[in-house]
Amino acid sequence: MLSPLFVLSLTPLLAGVQLPQPTHEGTLVNADLSVAPEIAQLADPFVPARYVTAAPSTDGRIAGDLADLAATPQRWWDLVRFDEQGPVRIPLPDVPGTWLLVLPPGATADCDCRQATALAGEAVEARDDNAPARPLRSGRVRVHGTQAPHRVRTIGSGYSVTLHFAQPVR
């Protein structure tokens, strides 16, 4: 029968040599102290974060927020409704001043946004019917700067879904 302290050795044990006896019972604990700083931080008292005022809403910051929103379709895709009778403007409930515009093929809609991006399909913007049309591109946010009326038109044979922002009324 093997003793509780069994050592596999390639060299024979010498007769009369006493092996050290364990001084504890149970499982050995790894004394790794590499996580000690994190444990010490958890032991510190909780200090709530100071209130920070929001950064001003610049066109660049808003464009970044709009691009982030466009990149997370789980926040807006279930709101999209297709209506072959005409354009559908759908406000996003959790983002004031932001809406989806769903246009059927060949449809045109008036718009007064400051920024826009394409989500699906093909759409163009123009100041009026005589102005050159500029395509809205997926992954790129068009910044108008000032809020001015213009028209959004679907091109191609399918629906277009675009995301728009205008300063919310306070």
Which CA distances in Å does 29 have to 9, 24, 33, 34, 50? 24, 11, 12, 14, 40
pLDDT score at 128: 77
Residue 167 corresponds to which amino acid?
A: Q
pLDDT tens, residue by residue, 62-120 = 899 999 999 999 999 999 999 999 999 999 988 889 999 999 999 999 999 999 999 99
Q: What is the CA radius of gyration of the chain?
A: 33
Residue 129 DSSP label: T
Beta bridge partners of 48: none
Q: Determine the distance from the C-alpha atom of residue 4 to the mean position of all C-alpha atoms in its chain, rounded to a whole number.
A: 56
Query: 59-165 architecture in CATH?
Result: Sandwich (2.60)
Q: What is the mean pLDDT of residues 9-33?
A: 60
| Rounded Cα gap, residues 34 and 119, in angstroms | 47
For 37, the enclosing helix (H) or strand (E) is helix 36-43
Q: Is the confidence at residue 28, as pLDDT, over 80?
A: no
Extents of the domains making up the chain: 59-165
Mean of pLDDT over the chain: 80
DSSP reduced 3-state for 151: strand
**Which pLDDT band, with edges at 50, 70 and 90, does 144 fall under?**
confident
For 124, the enclosing helix (H) or strand (E) is strand 123-126
